[in-house]
Structures are given as structure tokens and as C-alpha cells.
Amino acid sequence: MGHGRTMRAVVAVAIASCVLAACGDDGEPESASPTGDSTCTEGRVGGEVTMGSLSQVTGLDPVVNLGLGGTGANEVIALYDTLVRYDPETDEFVPVVAESLKPDEDFAEWTLKLREGVTFGNGDALTAEQVRDSFARHQDPANRSAAHRESLAVTEMEIVDPLTLVFHLDEPWSRFPTLLADLPGMVTNGSVVERQGENFNTAPTGGGVGPYEVQTFTPGEKLVLKAKDDWWGGPVCIRTLRFVVITGSQATYDAFKNDDIQLAFLRAPDVIAQAEDDGVQGLSTIDNAGSTIILNTAEGPAADPLVRRALAAAMDPEVINQRAYGGAGLPGTALINEQSILYDGLAGPEPDADRAADLVERAKAAGWDGRLKMPCQNSPEGNNVCLAMKAMAEAAGMSVTIEQMAPQDFISTVLVDRSFDIASWSMPLSEAEPAVRLSAAVGTGGGLNPGGYSNAEMDAALAALRAAPDAADRRQALAGIQEIWNETLPSLVIAANENFIAISDAVKGVRLSQNSQIYFDSAYVDD
Amino acid sequence: MLRSLGARLLRLVPVLFLVSLGTFFLVDLVPGDPAVAILGSNATPEQYEAVRAELGLNESVVTRYFDWLGDTLRGDLGESLTPPTQSVTDLIQSRLPVTIQIATMAMLISVTVSIVLALAAAYRPGKVFDRVTSGTAFAAIAVPQFLTGLLLIFFVLFHTDLVRWFVLVAGIAGAVLIAVRAVGGVTDHPPGNERVRAAAIRAVLALAVVGFAVLLFARFPEFPRQGFTRISEDGLWPSLRDAFLPALTLAVAEIAIFMRLLRNDLITTLQEDYILSARAKGMPPWRILVRDALRPSSFSLITVAGVALGRLMGGTVIVETIFNLPGMGTLIVNAIGAQDVRVIQSSVLVIAVFYVLVNLLVDLSYSQLDPRLRRGRV
């Protein structure tokens, strides 16, 4: 058994090293994206592109940015690039600013080798010291980075030479590159950060190694980026890149159809369905368990496993899908949706109204009064989901009190005050690395675990997932987690969420990464 | 005059104080948590608590109000609470011109169109044109602003050909009607130069109408679904083009109100003895309408237009949201969502200042328009 694990680790290291190093030697390979296999060349330089994002970028400093594709990550990727990128086609991480990223035998140490000749916008050379200092900004709690929790996995950073840095982790993590493909992998120039002070968040000129610099940033209105003329990575084809925020997926898609914008980040299932019906090309990603029902397992009625089982039997994802999304969503009770690359036939608990009623009877017989408190967001979608949940719970004999509140109050009520029995929630699991969010959501003491779930078996299963050396082992670990999940019901999965980035026929070479993040490094406008 | 102006300005101070007080306490009742807006939904409870303490949100609302008032009186509007944090003064300086442009364009469209329609309707009250415009005006007043905006988007942006053909057909029909009226009304004028001149004017008018319709049909502007180009960025035309549909959305209901108001006042004025005298002297109808009747009929219009301009300044929220315009409306809406009290307070105060100043100007304009008021004061 031990020998088998070692062999798997060796094979995984060999494959990972091969992929990362090989790609680093010859430059990033052209990925077969829906936008075409080709890349930017000198002859294709020129053009402007506008992208409609989901929400306003909170800032251009990676320690302030929220790091998701629709909420500002694409903007900062264009400014800073990332050390590595997740390639959904191969399910591997490929080097971008890094030349290679190699793990040791048990994935507890990762050696990062930087490319030579990489420079920041102000001309400073990229060094291992800059990477270390930049990463440390995410570990500093004062900066409140969205990647703070994950960045603490790195216990020490050792500079080997000006272009080599070794990350020492607190425990084995086979998908550690996910971190360097995200906010902590966007290296900021320490001298520019220091010089700009608080203004760095809105005016980081010269502070990144990405292909673009900020031309104008009018928060709440638009961000205009201009291409660098002498980018270390070669020509930058799209000369002007604009990001705007349009309220609502339908309005965003309308603007796309009117050619006001050439890329549109869409999340509403009915609008995505429209785009697909219209034959719009684009990049689609799945957030597994993007819609869930969180259960307060620490206190209140949902702390009783019998009540949780009753709820699991009562909640039919298809009913919620019909009511809230007109049947256009991706309903399912499994942690991993069948459209995901991680799907391996996992099944969640089956809804069964009769069994739900029976379980409710039993719980009532044991002393439960049948009442549940459910805070709800007062948005159209939130209302529809809550009403469907209430209807199904009450059909099984429960009595649900809905408490309407603004989205921000809802988050406070659930996450901070923990004043709920059940609530519509989200636990988006990245295809690249589901372990990060799963650990936060259902790991003992996890930062996003307001339900207070704690289970030693689950913790062990999560550790196994984190250390799983290859895709097969990850799927196997996920199967183990699903089994414990079905048995203990930390919360209920009701759907996966699809994110769709609609892309105009004229725009080619856009590359996709994790969390719906995209890269414009090699993109161009095909006239 | 200056003394009167000073007294009026002084009266604004308590109004603005009450506005700021009311806004602050109302905003405090609005649900929302700036800490969530700052950190997103993935932070820990400890992080949210730390941000609240840092922002002083744990202080009492009274303390926070007087802190804000003190800073404002010193000319410091502070920085926005939610990231990316920026100077509230800069934010307002960036957003206010957009709202002013949209509101001004809406007002210009409303006043121009409503005057033309009201003159035409009042010229022959109770006839076909008057009935059609009155009926349409009632319909336009009844349609909510957001629906007007969405209908304009639906037709102008996504069924452009339909609109182009409609414009062409309507233009040709209008020109034909003018021509028919010219032929039918030729005997209204005495034979000779007067009759020729009247016929020539109508012919030119008909040609202008059909020419404008053909021009629009051939070169219909490409309006954006969303966004705004500032005059300082790409010049006047792109900015006017981007602002046209939002301004028209705002203008539709105002046109209807102004038109009905002015039409009624014009009909009353046209019954005055001096108008009958002018008619008896053989003055042309356009001269009687424009030079003799319009000015004394415009007092109600000016009053309502003044109030409407102030209302448009604060009421562009819906249109700015629909067309995704970076104006004061969206600034306030987004700030309310994030409970960014500093931005809300300052923005509302700026709108209130604008509103009361516009009304002050309307008051002052009366005395300029009607000499009797000046003499009465003396």
C-alpha cells in the first residue's frame, strides 16, 4: 500500500514536472479554446475590446481584489499575470510568468523557477525576492486578502537564487499551484507598492508584469487598460482593453448583442440558455455545489440528524430549478455535477416527499415542534428559491418562517451571527481544486463553516483530497467525501452553477483558467 | 436685488441641514453591512468585525452624524467606505456632470418638442391634431419611466429597421399632410405675394420634414445599449449620441406634461383682446402664436420646468440604472446597497443643493419675465 502511494507520487511528480517544465521551455502551448487555437502575433496587433463584468472591481491590488472571474480577477490578471495558469483542457497547471513549478515527492515543498527577462512595468526585473514579498502580503492579516486563509498553507519561503524560490507547506498539497494561479500568484512590485501607498489599489502603474497598464480607472464606471509596447512576453495584440459593469445578466447580454461589449460575463441560467440558443461562442465553467442549503448543525433543530435527513428528503432540486430558473439551471444533489470534469458518477441524497413526511413525524415524536427559521435575501432569485424551499418543507409537515433581508444583512446573519436553521447558500467548488472551498465550508473550524459542522472522518477525507496526487485519486477522495456527506448531511447541494463568458466572433485567443478567470495575453481581434 | 438674493440663500441653510439630518438617520435604518461590501461573502466573522470597528460603525448614529457634519463644514467629504476607496469629492465631481448632461438634454428635448406640439394643438383646439396629441400625452404620462426605457431599447436597438421605416413613413405622411393643408388653405391668403409666400413656406416645411426622415432612414445613428462617453473623452457627438436615449426616456413624460400645460395656457391667451386685435390686423398665425401668445402663456411652463429639472437631477436613478450610466443616480443606488453612508450623505446633499438652487432661479426669473412683478415689488 505504502509502495503504491509512493509510486503514484513519483508518477505524479514526473507528470507535473514534465508538464510544467516542458511548457516553460517552449512557452505556453496554444490551448484549444472555443475562441480558436491561434495566438497573438505581430501581424495581428491592433484593436480594442470591452468586457462586461459581473460586479465592480474592488481594487487593482491583488490583496484587495476578490479574485473571481466576474468580480475583478480578469482585470488584475491583465495587469499582473499569474505565475501559473490552470488549463481546463488538460486539468493541469501550466507556467505563465514562472518557468517551472515542481513539487517534492510528497507535495509539501514546491520549487518555483522564474523565467529570465521578466520585468515589471517600471522596468524592474522580477526576482524570487519580489515573489516572496508579494506572497507575504496575502499572509499579512492587516491586508485582508481574499486568499489570506489559503496563503497560510505556506509556512516558509526560501530564496535559493534570484530566480528560484521554494515554498514550504504545512501539509502535503498536490494542487498547490492553484494558489499561484490566483491572487497570490499575481506578483506586485514592492517598490511601487511602497511608493504608491494607499493609491496602489487604484493606480498600480509599473507594479505588475502583465501585458497591460492602467490608462484610466473610474471606479463604478469603467477601467481602461492599455497594452505595453515592450512586454517581456511578446506583442500584445489588443491595444485597449475596457472593463465595464452592467447591472443584470440580461442587460449585459443585450449590450453584447448590440456590440457595445465584445465579452460578457453571464451567470443567470436563463440568459446563458438564450446565448446558447443564439449560437454565441464562449467559455463555460461549472461551479460545483454553487447552490446549496446550509444547515445549522451546531444548534437548533438542524443539529438533529433526523431533521437533516427529513430536509434532505424534502428538498427536490428540480422544483427549485423550475421555480427560480425556469428549468435552465443544473440541478442535482451530488457535490460534483455530471457536467464537471471531476464527475465520476457520484450521487447525493435522493429527494422523497413521502420519506420526508415520515421523518418529520418521527422528529416531532421525539420532541421537535417542526419549526424552522430561514433568513432569505430579498432579491427576485432569493425569493423564488426560498419560497420553493418553504413549500417543500411545509409539504413534509415542517413550519418555516422566512425572514426577508438585504443581501448584505443576509450574509451577516448567516455567516457572522449564525442566526438561522436553514438558508439558501453557495459553496462553489472550483474544478481546479475543490479541496480549498470544501475545507473552508465543512472542515472543522473552517472559515466559511457557519453551520458549525465538525466531523473527524470528513476532516481526514478532506486531507486525503488535498494530498491526492492525480485526477484518479482526487475523484476517489471526492467519492469518500460524498459518502460521508450523504451520511452526515453537513448541508444540502441543490445545483451546480454555470458561468458563461460570451465572446464575440471577432475576438480570438482568449484563454481560460480556474474560477472563470481569463487571460488576454494572447488574445487578438480578427477583422 | 442682492439683499433679496442673500435672504433667499440664507433660507436654504436650514433646508439643507434638515435634508442631511433626515438622510443620515434614514440611511441608518436601511439594511446592509459595509463590512460585507468591503470583504465580499468569503471572509471570516472576525474579519467582518474588525472592518466594522475600523470604520467606526460601532459608534452611535448621533456621534457618526456629527463627525460627518463637522468634516463636511470644513469642506472634507471624506473617502468612500467601500473599496476601491476614493475621495467622495472626486466621485461626485466625476458623476455630477453626467447627470447634469442627461437632465439638461431631457429638459431641452421636453421644452422644444412640447412648445412645438402645444402651439400646433392650440392653434386649432379640438381638431384632429389636438385630439391625437392630447390622447398620446395622457398615454405617455401613464407609462412608467422604466417601461419607456425598455421599450426604447427594444425598438431602437433591437428592431432598428422597424423604427427606420416608421420614421420614413411618418415623415412622408407628415409632408403629404402639410402639402394637402397648403393646397387646401391657399385661399386663406389674399392673392398675390402673401399667398405665394405662404405656399412656399409650407413647401419648404414639407421638404424639410421628408428630407429629415430620409436622412434618418439612411443614416440612423447606432445608439449604445449601455454606457456613456464624456465630452472630454471623444468630443460632443459621441456624448450626445450616448445620452440621447436616456434623455429621451426622461423626456417622454415631461413632454406630455409640458405640452398639456402650455396648450391650455395658450388657448386661454388666444382669447385675449390683444390677440383678436392682432388677428383683425391680418398678422400671420405663426407670428401671433410665437411672438404674442407664447411668452405670456409660459409662466406655468417655466414653474413646472424648474421643478422638473430639479426632479430630473434626483430622479435619473431609474434611467441611469437601465442604461448603465455613471451618474449621481447609480452612485447613490450603489452606495445605498453598500451602506456607504459618506457617499450617500454627500450625494443627496449635492442633489438637494441643486434642487433648491434651481427653484431659486425659477423664482428670480419671474420678475425678469413679467415686468409687473418688478414694479409691484417697487
Residue A12's domain is classified under what CATH number?
3.40.190.10
CA distance A446 to chain B (A): 9
pLDDT tens, position by position, A364-389:
999 999 999 999 988 888 899 999 99
Nearest C-alpha of chain A: how many angstroms from B248? 19
| d(C-alpha B217, C-alpha B225), whole Å | 20
Contacts of B48 in chain A (CB under 8 A): 412, 415-416
A357 and A454 part of one domain: yes
Rounded CA separation A22/A18 (Å)? 6
φ, ψ at B248 (rounded to 5°): -65, -40
Q: Which residues of B touch A71 (CB under 8 A)?
A: 40
Surface of B (193-222) touching A: CB under 8 A: none
Is B94 in Cβ contact with A447 (below 8 Å)?
Answer: no
Q: Which of B28, B29, B30, B36 to mutate to test the interface with A (most CBs of A within 10 A)?
A: B36
CA A290 to chain centre: 10
Give me the sign of the Cα torsion angle A457, A462, A464, A465: positive
Taking alpha carbons only, the member of B354, B329, B352, B365 closest to residue B149 is B329
Answer positive or negative: Cα dihedral of B107, B113, B118, B119.
Answer: positive
Spatial separation of the C-alpha atoms in residues B364 and B339, rounded to whole Å: 38
Q: Using an 8 Å Cβ cutoff, are B51 and A430 in contact? A: no
| Separation in Å, CA of B323 to nearest CA in chain A | 8
Query: Residue A179 has what pLDDT?
Result: 96
Ranges of each domain in chain B: 96-308+318-327
Question: Do A490 and A512 fall within a single domain?
Answer: no
Q: Which three cell numbers stand for residue A87?
A: 488549463
pLDDT at A30 over 50: no
The larger pLDDT score, comparing residue A285 to residue B368, is at: A285
Same domain flag for A429 and A310: yes
What pLDDT score does A527 carry? Answer: 75
Cis peptide before A469 (omega within 30 of 0): no
| Chain B residues close to A242, C-beta within 8 Å | none
pLDDT 10s digit of each residue in chain B, 378 long? 677 778 778 887 888 888 888 888 877 777 667 777 777 666 777 778 888 887 777 888 888 888 888 888 888 888 888 888 889 999 999 999 999 999 999 999 999 999 999 998 998 888 888 999 999 999 999 999 899 999 999 999 999 999 999 999 999 998 888 888 777 666 666 666 767 777 788 888 889 999 999 999 999 999 998 888 888 888 899 999 999 999 999 999 999 999 999 999 999 999 889 988 888 887 877 788 888 899 888 888 888 888 888 778 766 888 998 998 999 999 988 888 777 888 988 898 888 888 888 888 877 777 676 666 665 543
Write the CA distances from A373 to A298, A301, B171, integer angstroms.
14, 9, 62
Residues of A in contact with B31 (CB under 8 A): 405-406, 408-409
Alpha carbon separation from B226 to A55, A248, A271, B60 (Å, rounded): 15, 12, 17, 40
Query: Whose grid coordinates read 435552465?
Result: A328
Measure the CA–CA gap between A85 and A494, rounded to whole angstroms.
30
Q: Is residue A81 domain-shared with residue A219, that is, in the same domain?
A: yes
Of A59, A202, A408, the CB nearest to B32: A408
Give a yes or no: residue A177 inside a domain: yes
Does A509 lie in the same domain as A370? no
Residue A151: its chain B contacts at CB < 8 A? none
Report the CATH number at residue A362: 3.10.105.10
Tell me the chain A residues in contact with residue B153 when contact means C-beta distances shorter than 8 Å.
Answer: 254
Same domain, A91 and A210: yes
CB pairs under 8 A between A and B: 118
Cβ neighbours of B177 (radius 10 Å):
14
A201 with B85: Cβ contact below 8 A: yes
CB contact under 8 A, B86 and A202: yes
What torsion do the CA atoms of A102, A105, A108, A114 make, to the nearest 10 degrees? -10
Say what the pLDDT of residue B185 is: 63
Write out the E strands in A67-127: 84-87, 92-95, 98-103, 109-114
Q: Are A379 and A424 in contact (CB under 8 A)?
A: no
The pTM for the full model equals 0.83
Q: Is B182 on the interface with A (CB under 8 A)?
A: no
N-terminal to C-terminal alpha carbon distance within chain A: 58
* A436 inside domain: yes
Please check whether residues A45 and A134 belong to one and the same domain: yes
In this structure, how many other beta carbons lie within 10 angstroms of the beta carbon of residue A492? 25
Distance CA B309, CA B302 (A): 10
Average pLDDT over residues A93-120: 96
DSSP state of B293: I
Give me the residue label for grid cell 491561434: A38
Nearest CA in chain A to B334: A220
Is A428:A398 a contact under the CB 8 Å cutoff? no
Name which of A144, A255, A412 is nearest B225 (Cβ-Cβ).
A255
What is the spatial distance between Cα B310 and Cα A83, in angstroms, rounded to a whole number? Answer: 53
State how far the alpha carbon of B176 is from the alpha carbons of A334, B99, B214, in Å. Answer: 69, 40, 14
Tell me, yes or no, whether A333 and A214 share the same domain: no
Cα A411 from Cα A408, distance rounded (Å): 5
Of B38, B50, B225, the CB nearest to A258: B225
- Give the C-alpha separation, B40 to A415, whole Å: 11
Nearest to A405 by CA among A376, A442, A429: A376
**Residue bearing cell 451530488:** A334
The residue of chain A nearest to residue B150, with distances taken between CA atoms, is A251
State the cell numbers at B243: 445620452
B positions 107-126 inside 8 Å of A (CB) = none
DSSP E strand boundaries for A179-319 = 212-218, 222-227, 240-245, 263-266, 282-295
The letter for the amino acid at A131 is: V
Q: How many CB atoms lie within 10 A of CB B246?
A: 29
Residue of higher predicted confidence among A186 and B363? A186
Which chain A positions have a beta carbon within 8 Å of B339's beta carbon? Answer: 408
Compute the mean pLDDT over every residue in chain A, rounded to the nearest whole number. 90
Residue A280 lies in a domain: no
By residue count, chain A amounts to: 527
Asked if B330 reaches chain A (Cβ–Cβ under 8 Å), the answer is yes
Per-residue pLDDT for A341 more than 90? no
Alpha carbons A455 and A443: distance in angstroms, whole number: 8
Q: Which three cell numbers stand for residue B167?
A: 420614421
In a domain, A377, yes or no: yes
Query: From the list B40, B43, B331, which residue is nearest A220 (CB)?
Result: B331
Q: Does residue A18 surpass a pLDDT of 60?
A: no
Which three three-digit cell numbers place residue A96? 505563465
Among candidate residues B335, B40, B330, B149, the one with its CA nearest the CA of residue A221: B330
Q: Are A272 and A517 in contact (CB under 8 A)?
A: no
Q: Considering chain A, what percentage of its residues have pLDDT values greater than 70?
A: 93
What distance in Å separates residue B22's CA from the closest CA in chain A? 21
C-beta atoms of A416 and B48 within 8 A = yes
Which cell goes with B309? 429639472
pLDDT attached to residue A186: 98
- What DSSP character marks residue B157? I
Chain B residues in contact with A292 by the CB 8 A cut-off are none
Read off the C-alpha cell for A171.
501539509
Which residues form the domain of A345? 288-496
pLDDT digit string (tens) for A424-470?
A: 999 999 999 999 999 999 999 888 888 899 999 999 999 999 999 99
Please report residues of A whose CB lies closer than 8 A to that of B158.
Answer: 254, 257-258
Report the gap between the CA of A32 and the closest CA in chain B (Å). 32
Q: How far is CA B371 from CA B25, B299, B368, in A?
A: 45, 13, 6
User: Can you tell me whether residue A401 is helix, strand or coil?
Assistant: strand
**Beta carbons of A254 and B157 less than 8 Å apart:** yes
Residue ranges of B 81-100 with Cβ closer than 8 A to chain A:
82-86, 91, 94
Angle between helix axes B236-269 and B299-314 (nearest 10 degrees) is 140
Task: Please answer yes or no on whether B321 and A247 come within 8 Å at the CB atom.
Answer: yes
User: By the CB < 8 Å criterion, does A142 face chain B?
Assistant: no
Residue A59: helix, strand or coil by DSSP?
Answer: coil
How far does the CA of residue A142 sit from the closest CA of chain B (Å)? 10
What is the least distance, in Å, from the CA of B48 to any CA of chain A?
A: 8
ipTM of the complex: 0.75
Question: Which of A244, A247, A440 is closest, CB to CB, to B227?
Answer: A244
Contact (Cβ atoms closer than 8 angstroms) between residue A36 and residue A237: no
**Is the per-residue pLDDT at A315 higher than 80?**
yes
- Cell numbers for B55, please give them: 470604520
Category of B147 on φ-ψ map: left (φ > 0), alpha (ψ -120 to 50) or beta: alpha
Q: Minimal Cα–Cα distance from B86 to chain A, Å? A: 9
Q: Scanning every residue of chain B, which has its alpha carbon at the shortest distance from the alpha carbon of A259? A: B224
Asked if the C-beta of A166 comes within 8 angstroms of chain B's C-beta atoms, the answer is: no
User: For residues A402 and A362, is the Cβ–Cβ distance under 8 A?
Assistant: no
Chain-chain contact of B339 with A408 (C-beta, under 8 angstroms): yes
Same domain, A452 and A509: no
How many structural domains is chain A composed of?
Answer: 2
**A377 contacts A424 by C-beta, under 8 angstroms:** yes
Q: Is B203 exposed, middle or buried (0-12, 13-18, 19+ CB in 10 A)?
A: middle
CA geometry: angle at B243 spanning B237 and B248, to 5°? 120
Q: Tell me: the pLDDT tens digits for A92-103?
A: 999 999 999 999
Res A36: pLDDT = 52
- Measured at the CA of B177, the angle between CA B125 and CA B261, to 5 degrees, comes to 30
Same domain, A422 and A509: no
Q: In chain B, which residues have their Cβ closer than 8 Å to the Cβ of A375?
A: none
Q: How far is B366 from A16, CA to CA, in rounded Å?
A: 81
Question: Between the CA of residue B258 and those of A183, A199, A522, B112, what are the distances in Å?
Answer: 55, 48, 55, 10
Decide which of B375 and A423 is more confident. A423
Tell me the C-alpha distance between B305 and A109, whole Å: 72
| A361 and A426 part of one domain | yes
Substitution target in A48, A50, A58, A379 with the highest count of B β-carbons within 10 Å is A58
- Angular region, A525: left φ>0, alpha ψ -120 to 50, beta rest: beta
CB of B337 less than 8 A from some CB of A: yes
**Per the omega criterion (within 30 degrees of 0), is the bond before A380 cis?**
no
pLDDT of residue B366: 73
| Cα–Cα dist B277/B279, whole Å | 5
> Same structural domain for residues A404 and A462?
yes
Q: Which of B371, B344, B314 is nearest to B100 (CA)?
A: B314
Binary contact (B326, A201; C-beta < 8 A): no
Cβ atoms of A120 and A174 within 8 Å: the answer is: no
Determine the pLDDT at residue A13. Answer: 42
The number of C-alpha atoms within 13 Å of A363 and in the hemisphere containing its C-beta is: 26
Contact A412 B48 (CB under 8 A): yes
Distance CA A70, CA A88 (A): 17
Residue B28 touches chain A, beta carbons under 8 Å: no
Task: Flag whether A282 is in a domain.
Answer: no
